[in-house]
A = this chain, B = another copy of it.
Amino acid sequence: MKNYITRDAWKIVEDGFHKEFNEITESLMSLGNGRMGQRGNFEERFSGKTLLGNYVAGVFFPDKTRVGWWKNGYPNYFAKVLNACNWTGIEVEIDGEILDLNTCTYEHFQRVLDMQRGVLERECTLTTPEGKQLKIRTRRFCHMVEDESGAISYSITPLNFDGTITLTPFLDGNIQNRDSNYNETFWNEIKKETSFAEGILVMETKPNPYGVEQYQVATGMRFDLKKNGQILDFQSLPVRDEKYVAGKVPVQLIQNEELTLFKYAVNLSSMNHTSENLIPDTKVYLNRLAEKGFEQLLEEHVAAWAAKWEQNDIQIKGDVAAQQGIRFTIFHLQQTYTGKDERLNIGPKGFTGEKYGGGTYWDTEAYCIPFYLSTSEQQVARNLLIYRYKQLGKAIENATKLGFDMGAALFPMVTMTGEECHNEWEITFEEIHRNGAIAYAIYDYVRYTGDKDYLTEYGLEVLIGISRFWKQRVNWSVQKNQYVMLGVTGPNEYENNVNNNWYTNYIAAWTLRYTLEALEYVRNQGKIEDISSKVAFDFASETAQWQHIIDNLHFPYDSERQVYLQQEGFLDKELLTVDQITSHRPINQKWSWDRILRSCFIKQADVLQGLYFFEEDFSEEEIRRNFDFYEPMTVHESSLSPCVHAILAAGLGKKEKAYEMYLRTARLDLDDYNNDTEDGLHITSMAGTWMSVVKGFAGQRVQDGLLILNPYIPEEWESYSFRLGFRGVTLTVAVSQDSVLITNPSAAGIEIVVHGQKELVAGQKAFPLKA
């Protein structure tokens, strides 16, 4: 755990240069706008520890699978989000000395990510090895409106000399993914152009043998300069090299004169522009940016962020660390996915790193959709659902490869295009509960929005595909006289290849039930024939089979403790609690894999994940018994674990536990709890942090079309408030130590259930806080 980030309500501040943590800071200070993004790398050369990262949404490469031992069924490639052309670079030369931030001494250094405005700023005073003292100020953003662009303002002032400062803004495509499986590079140069104060580099992803689309990305830059705030007439010498363009600008400066370079950059991808238009569109775009100029672009950008915060902010009073943590998560979620493009999704690291390949996981459905449902227009969550709908065909192909038929669909564990990328048999082939999460997200969306048309238009087809998979994935056990599901891995990945994982069985049976409901709804709408004939659905026989499974699926249960068993045979384990193995933690670093597997310890909620999803099916006492049984065995070594426990604990009135779990998620990256922030941020688990507050402390639910709140406040806080978009209105919920104040700016009132009481809220309404 690190503690070098200054606590501030709106800013992530590094005071003094912590070189040793530079890769962590780069992750924390990543910028993005849903369309492109980048790590908080320096503009200048830095020969120290750094992970250069620039990413263009949706652009990936199918890297040849690497395994130790091949298992039949493994996919041939693992799609990797591509580390793309570096557009932020500015080489700085002072009287012939190249500035390397790693070799300077610093009189002053501050890096700030201003989350309110979405701007990365730096100010430092440094001395080079040759004794030149300089002041540098930078500002940078990825534009939230002009979302294929970014801009940099780079100011430099000689403090102890007169001399020549040469600035060389460049675009560099000599980039390798750090996690390349075989140390290969993935880009080819297609074209490059330079002209006065402009450079364009078009690159294409290398050919691949998997039939995966090749992408072209045109990266363009334009720059202009000011001296002491006045427009400067400058000379620029164009430079062209392999996958590299630049413009060299030498400027004579007198001591204390400030030179400012404005660099405008765009990344246009062939996902959104035809190949022929890439260069012309780049030029038009650059012209527009340069015409507006840095300050106007910044103004638009800050306004866009203000609107986002208006919708999304969570304010916490009395705890600046918690305030900073929650805003940090909201900020990054909003940077990563804006919901404008249904081809895009949310990679586990967003635009902050390469780890896990940047593909789509079930995290999206289980954790992110609730966040976007409450904080963004309905379209955003809907697009995330449509993303999967469009991949249904691939999910059916994927299931076919694994031996299923008749339209059974298995959505991949990790994917870009709908094809499976992951290659670890116990996950790829067996962590099939993900399929249930995709069904659940449809339910969750319809429940929250009331948009039942979605079922008819898209949802039912997906549900049928998934239900067909479950139908074929179970088998009849003569021994048990029940259906069983053999060989699965649940959300708790510290168990592999188990039989009758309770969570997976539950979500399978639930999917079948919900699909039957959805079928009934669509039939009542008179739309069933279209879908039935499209997917060759045999209504009578398939629904009867599903009902038979619903009625006869096995669920392991311990009648003595009255708890659901995580899987068959769980009670054969030595049942210990986490506090008995304190010196062995984290077990994923201290124990070999087999020891983890045969222990009782849980990585991430498994039975509890099911009780969270399907809360309404269980009594509070049941939930409590299971929580009390499993939580003490849970090591939370997945970033996705604590939030579910926080929500359940809050619901059970276990306030201390809820707060403890909240703390584990809220500052996970800011304080580098898991020693891995340098790889990038845990973007998807950030949605869990938001849920811990809204679904946990504030007890937000939706039932029968009604918004429900059961708020309480952790005693560590003075107050907290958040916005909630729900069916066309945006409510503000403000919770203090003794009351809940709900504000509905819409004239039309809305019925809300607060602490079990249904109330019509129009304007402001205060409720006493339940103890």
Interface residues of A, Cβ cutoff 8 Å to B? 65-69, 71-73, 182, 401-403, 423-426, 429-430, 475-480, 484, 486-487, 496-497, 499, 568-569, 571-575, 588-598
Contact = CB atoms under 8 A, between A and B. Distances in A.
Contacts of A595: 73, 402-403
B479 A571 contact: yes
Contact of A477 (B430, B568, B572, B589): B572
In the A-B complex, list the 8 residue pairs whose CB atoms are closest, starting with the nearest: A73-B592, A429-B594, A487-B598, A479-B571, A71-B593, A486-B598, A67-B68, A477-B572
B425 A594 contact: yes
Nearest to A480: B572
A471 to B, nearest CB: 14
Contacts of A487: 594, 597-598
A594 B475 contact: no
A592 B569 CA distance: 25
A533 B429 CA distance: 50
A362 to B, nearest CB: 17
A543 B497 CA distance: 35
A635 to B, nearest CB: 13
Contacts of A426: 497
Most chain B beta-carbon neighbours within 10 Å: one of A429, A479, A487: A487
Contacts of A590: 72
B592 A429 contact: yes
Contacts of A589: 72
A169 to B, nearest CB: 38
Contacts of A571: 477-479
Contacts of A478: 571, 575
Given A72-B593, A424-B68, A573 B475 contact: yes
A354 to B, nearest CB: 15
A461 to B, nearest CB: 25
B423 A574 contact: no
Nearest to A558: B479
Nearest to A483: B572
Contacts of A423: 68-69
Contact of A401 (B568, B588, B592, B598): B592
Given A402-B595, A591-B403, A572 B72 contact: no
A102 B476 CA distance: 57
A412 to B, nearest CB: 13
A635 B590 CA distance: 39
Nearest to A473: B598
Given A72-B588, A477-B573, A487-B594, 18 more contacts: A66-B66, A67-B67, A68-B424, A69-B423, A72-B589, A72-B591, A73-B594, A73-B595, A402-B592, A402-B595, A403-B592, A425-B593, A430-B594, A476-B574, A478-B571, A479-B571, A486-B573, A569-B569
A72 B403 contact: no
Nearest to A485: B598
A34 to B, nearest CB: 30
13 contacts: A66-B67, A69-B424, A72-B590, A72-B591, A72-B596, A73-B592, A73-B593, A402-B595, A403-B592, A475-B574, A478-B571, A480-B572, A486-B572
Contacts of A499: 569, 572
A483 to B, nearest CB: 10
Given A65-B68, A67-B68, A572 B429 contact: no
A588 B71 CA distance: 9
A182 to B, nearest CB: 8
A482 to B, nearest CB: 9
A499 B594 CA distance: 12
A292 to B, nearest CB: 47
A182 B66 CA distance: 11
Nearest to A596: B72
Contacts of A480: 572
Contacts of A73: 591-595
Contacts of A430: 594
A572 B69 contact: no
Contacts of A429: 592-594
A711 to B, nearest CB: 41
A365 B600 CA distance: 34
Nearest to A499: B569
A26 B731 CA distance: 78
A87 to B, nearest CB: 32
A423 B588 CA distance: 17
Nearest to A595: B403
B425 A572 contact: no
A589 B66 CA distance: 19
Contacts of A182: 182
A545 to B, nearest CB: 16
A60 to B, nearest CB: 18
A423 B68 CA distance: 7
Nearest to A424: B69
Contacts of A68: 65-68, 423-424
Nearest to A425: B593
B72 A592 contact: yes
Contacts of A574: 475-476
Nearest to A479: B571
Contacts of A425: 593-594
Contacts of A497: 426, 496-497, 597
A167 B361 CA distance: 63
A703 B497 CA distance: 41
A742 to B, nearest CB: 47
Contacts of A477: 571-573
A497 B493 CA distance: 13
A556 to B, nearest CB: 11
Contacts of A592: 71-73, 401-403, 429
Contacts of A594: 73, 402, 425, 429-430, 487
A571 B475 CA distance: 12
Contacts of A66: 66-68
Nearest to A570: B479
